[in-house]
A and B are shown apart, each in its own frame.
Chain A
Amino acid sequence: MLCERMPRSKDISLPNPHERFTALYTTYQARVYGYAASRAGHQLAEEVVSETFLVAWRRLDDIPADAQLPWLLRVARNILRDNYRQAARRESLEAELRTWTEQAIADAGEHAVERVAVLRALAGLSDADKEVLTLTTWHGLSAAEAAEVVGCSKAAFFVRLHRARRRLQSAIDVTRTSASPKPVTVPGGELR
């Protein structure tokens, strides 16, 4: 499970700004990347990581030592909202979800059918539902941390999560009763 504890202030209280920044980047860049990829696909994720950490460098003293990851994810969320057209971001994420679904179809491993069903169900949910669901399940945030990322109270987040979870369950049920997935060949990707 991804619910690892975030490093506390004693781990990152390095005096040199460059060392602090490097420690922050090394610890969290993959998490920020994962969040950005789950919100906008890989095509935009790299740039979102860069922009997020450029903001982090400029505001190094503002980052709360005990909530660094939520702070970074909130910055990434704002960057996604402010710097990219909603339609472009959604299109990129839809393409990514199709890729993940195709990969799950091609994967003959355990629970492959369930994974396909849940990814297809997720793809059909609203953007807001996708976000609250993945913050807790894919990115390992507690409800309080996730609430901080989306900018609402913990209680409000619980309500949103509960409703999103119900809609996900319904969507999974619908997906399961539809046609069974066909195996597809995933292109290996030609070396450029």
Chain B
Amino acid sequence: MKKETKGKVVSYNKWGYIFLIPFVTVYVIFQLIPLGSTIINSFFENYRSGLMQVGPNFVGLDNFIKLFSSGDIWVYTANTLIMWVMGFVPQILVSLLLGAWFSDTRLRLKGQRFFKTVIYLPNLIMASAFSMLFFALFSDAGPINDILITIGVLDEPFKFFSHTWSTRTLVAFMNFVMWFGNTTILLMAGMMGIDTSLFEAAEVDGATASQVFFKITLPLLKPILIYVMITSLIGGLQMFDVPQILTNGTGEPMRSSMTLIMYLNKHLFSKNYGMGGALSVFLFVITGILSLIVFKFTGTGESND
């Protein structure tokens, strides 16, 4: 009897492997092999110069040396980080505030469904279409300039896309609008998870709303805040659609809104696979480290298994 059960268990469990076949096959072919060949490419000189194809020749770490000594990469890294910070700081502040309000049982806000629906909406919008819309709205003869002149804020159209900081602000603002709803919902889920008896105890002790927020909510929310921050940073490093469409791929003015992925996209389009490979490896290492931090913090995999 015992033997028979054991035999059955083994024969069932082979189905675990069978059901994993599609995932593993597709993952290996379309993710692991490309990752491997991307890394291999980073050690080869391989580009087109006019009609001449140069390479592929093995050059060791030359691509990396060229990449890091050219200075361009640091400019684009800085651009990416600046625009990420400009979008993330208001995003986390607004999300914390809204999350606290939505989850506050004493406040009992009405129409929460409506507000949550509205703030999450921009997250689902096609980023390229949203950027095209902003480009049209903020263009020199566009409606925003028009409105600002009509109400007397401006005397003549402000060229939003000719100034470094107005372009960056628009990119950051769009990222903010597209992502704060998502962050709010995540933080709110975290706040709802806090033991309500803590709030009740604080209330009995006569704590004010801001005391409760800073002394109870915020410290208990720290793991989720770190999770939100790092995942947002990983997302920020992938920033592409918005600045690409807004500046037509140029990163104008003066390449001040050129992001790392826009730079990668340029290499991919011009088929400079050596430099593109080195840049990809750089991005892979950074996102890999950030992912590990997320992984450690959420402890995924251990508790629910």
Do A and B interact? no
